Amino acid sequence: MSTTLFSGYGLGLRKEHYRDFLESDVDVDFVEVISENFMVDGGQPRHILRQIRERHPVALHGVSMSIGSADGLRNDYLQGLKRLANEIEPLFVSDHLSWSRIAGFNSHDLLPLPYTEEALDVVCANIAQAQEVLGRPMLFENPSSYLAFGGTMTEWEFLAAMTRRTGCGLLLDINNIHVSAVNHGYDALAYLDGIPADCVRQVHLAGHSQGRDLLIDTHDSPVSDAVWQLYAKALTLLGPVATMIERDDHIPPLQELLQELSTARGIGASARAANNASTAGILRITEAA
């Protein structure tokens, strides 16, 4: 994983806020856009993205690569993403550890994978192809899921093996960890301890909803207290990361999201201070010895 280390705070750019970003100096270190919204031939979307790129670093976050498809990746998709990435020179190019497509059918949803050796082989082969075509390492996001298949490893073991074999990085969605941990009854802290922390380059923070039987990853509400607490814990384990608030539905005024981002900055500052104090303590002990 050779992606340049970047530490900062950003927002998912949504069309409701285009004007804010184009007409004012929004206090973010980067923005993230949904890649597919800009993988178009031309017109206003690409024009706006070029203007935004002149003002902010941009991360490209995809939803349609379908890295877990048993029958491989679509070359037209990869080529379209490559053209966009070459033009935008993004901070990161990311997608999800999931699958959407099989045999010409595309669900347009992030469907779960079984965590088996066979699935790991498929995912790693697909990641190798994607990174080869794009000419850059990618990040993959841990999914939220409502269904778990009997596999041979945990999700975090799968992610760790995937990063080792492909050199890809991780986009850690803290809300997704919480949602899946509640839905499947595992320990979110064990998840954090199990992932390769040095591979995490970006963090997503988002809201969820309570469904009839399960937590649903709706991205339509503020970050919950449980997710903030998990984020604070994660920062004690991770190195420099880009943190982002992700809202996909019920988009509020920009100021509301910036307030959430301010909360993230505060937690990040506390974690850095704690880490520095901890490091200083270790140094003092070393010197005394």
Q: Is 216 exposed, middle or buried (0-12, 13-18, 19+ CB in 10 A)?
A: middle
Helix 155-166 to helix 117-134 angle, to the nearest 10 degrees? 40
Our finding on whether 148 is near other proteins (CB under 8 A) is yes
Between 41 and 70, how does the x/- string for binding to other proteins read (CB under 8 A)?
xxxxxxx----------------x-x-xxx
Closer by beta carbon to other proteins, 69 or else 202: 69
Closer by beta carbon to other proteins, 63 or else 271: 63
Q: Supply the minimum distance, in Å, between the C-beta of residue 269 and other proteins.
A: 37
Q: Supply the minimum distance, in Å, between the C-beta of residue 232 and other proteins.
A: 29
Q: Could you give the CA distance from residue 39 to residue 17 in angstroms, rounded to a whole number?
A: 20
Q: Supply the minimum distance, in Å, between the C-beta of residue 189 and other proteins.
A: 23
Closer by beta carbon to other proteins, 114 or else 194: 114
Q: Supply the minimum distance, in Å, between the C-beta of residue 54 and other proteins.
A: 17
- Per-state percent for the chain, helix, strand, coil, to nearest 5: 45, 20, 35
Q: What residues from 176 to 215 belong to the interface with other proteins (CB under 8 A)?
A: 183, 211-214
Our finding on whether 122 is near other proteins (CB under 8 A) is yes
Q: Outline where the chain has alpha helix (H).
A: 18-23, 35-38, 44-55, 75-88, 117-134, 155-166, 174-184, 188-194, 225-235, 254-288
Residue where the block lists tokens 């939220």: 144
Our finding on whether 113 is near other proteins (CB under 8 A) is yes
Our finding on whether 253 is near other proteins (CB under 8 A) is no
Between 81 and 110, how does the x/- string for binding to other proteins read (CB under 8 A)?
------------------x-xxxxxxxxx-
Q: Are the beta carbons of 3 and 137 closer than 8 angstroms? A: yes
Q: Are the beta carbons of 59 and 242 closer than 8 angstroms? A: yes
Our finding on whether 6 is near other proteins (CB under 8 A) is no
Q: Could you give the CA distance from residue 55 to residue 20 in angstroms, rounded to a whole number?
A: 12
Q: Could you give the CA distance from residue 141 to residue 155 in angstroms, rounded to a whole number?
A: 11
Q: Supply the minimum distance, in Å, between the C-beta of residue 81 and other proteins.
A: 10
Determine the size of the site formed for other proteins (CB under 8 A): 47
Nearest to 189 by CA among 176, 200, 177: 177
Residues that bind other proteins (CB under 8 A): 36, 39-47, 64, 66, 68-71, 74, 76-77, 99, 101-109, 111, 113-114, 116, 118-119, 122, 145-149, 183, 211-214, 216
